[in-house]
Amino acid sequence: MNTHRTLLSEIKLGNYKVLARVLTLVENDIQPADLLLRDLQSDSKAIVLGITGPPGAGKSTMVNAITNHFLARGMRIAILAIDPTSPFNYGSLLGDRIRMAAQFNNPNVFIRSLATRGALGGISAKTIEMVDVLKAANFDLIMVETVGVGQSEVEIAGLADKTVVVLVPESGDEIQNIKSGLMEIADCFVINKADRDGAATFANNLKKIVHQGNKVIPILKTVADKNQGIEELAEWIAEPAAGNQSEKRAFLFAEKAWRIIQHKKMKTVDKKKLREEIHEALKTDNFNIYRFADKFNS
């Protein structure tokens, strides 16, 4: 039987079959997942790029275009595509595997889909753990594409070295979300499908908001399905991050630790069983949600 150290060695050598197996072990808390995580090295030079934004903004098409750009430069790319989880059966749509089909047979690309597991912004403790496993596999760039559901996108800030928020010219309503939180986590705004009407006006409105902040946030225009603007975006991705990196590093690890601790604390709470117990409790005349929840706090 392979030891966890043998598995880690195989991952480092670029064995995708072993990498897929280890990610499955970690995702499902199957031993030796704990040993694997505790022996991971934290000195990876890989860039972790978070890509978020509202549904329909073209995030998957953009990930595909970015991947092609860096592949042409001989880089190894890992993509973690986070799909919406059904609140009823906890399944995932896993649609990104279909949209990125062109990359399947490329030996320098590894793609994995992951269900959100109920995390509003698509970031669960499992996401953090799986990204750390990917970092141990010597990729040059790891892209995490999240669901994109408004203010909860802020969660990506606890995971990525750089965060791209993808919007489209029709995203006028997203301006309120930008004011409410995305401004704090976006390192770059990308207006995709910029060949559509209203793109210039939207870009100007966005610039006015961005210039009110304390940090300089670039606003780039792309038409990902035509590969327009990808070169400029790729240059921004590749350049060293500006600002106080030691402070950001501490923030990133604090956010990651919070998620991991939260996950461990909640591990004994079975959501399916919780729902069954709620179903029974609701039949009583004196049901109180706070008294019910107290049973799980002891």
Does 226 lie in the same domain as 208?
yes
For the segment 141-176, what is each residue's pLDDT rounded down to a tens digit?
Answer: 999 988 664 444 556 666 788 989 899 998 766 566
Residue 49 is which amino acid? L
Dihedral sign (CA 185, 61, 148, 146): negative
Strands 109-115 and 77-83 turn out to be: parallel
Structural domain boundaries enclosing 25: 1-39
For the segment 40-59, what is each residue's pLDDT rounded down to a tens digit?
Answer: 876 788 999 999 888 788 89
For the segment 73-109, what is each residue's pLDDT rounded down to a tens digit?
Answer: 999 999 998 876 544 444 444 455 555 666 777 899 9
pLDDT classification of 7: cutoffs 50, 70, 90: very high
Give how many domains the chain has, as a whole number. 3
Contact (Cβ atoms closer than 8 angstroms) between residue 46 and residue 160: no
Does 190 lie in the same domain as 171?
yes
Which strands make up the sheet holding 188-191, listed edge to edge?
109-115, 77-83, 141-145, 47-52, 162-167, 188-191, 219-221
Contact (Cβ atoms closer than 8 angstroms) between residue 65 and residue 86: no
In this prediction the pTM is 0.82
For the segment 278-296, what is each residue's pLDDT rounded down to a tens digit?
Answer: 999 999 988 888 888 888 7
Q: If you average pLDDT over residues 225-232, what whole number do you get? A: 96
Does 281 lie in the same domain as 158?
no
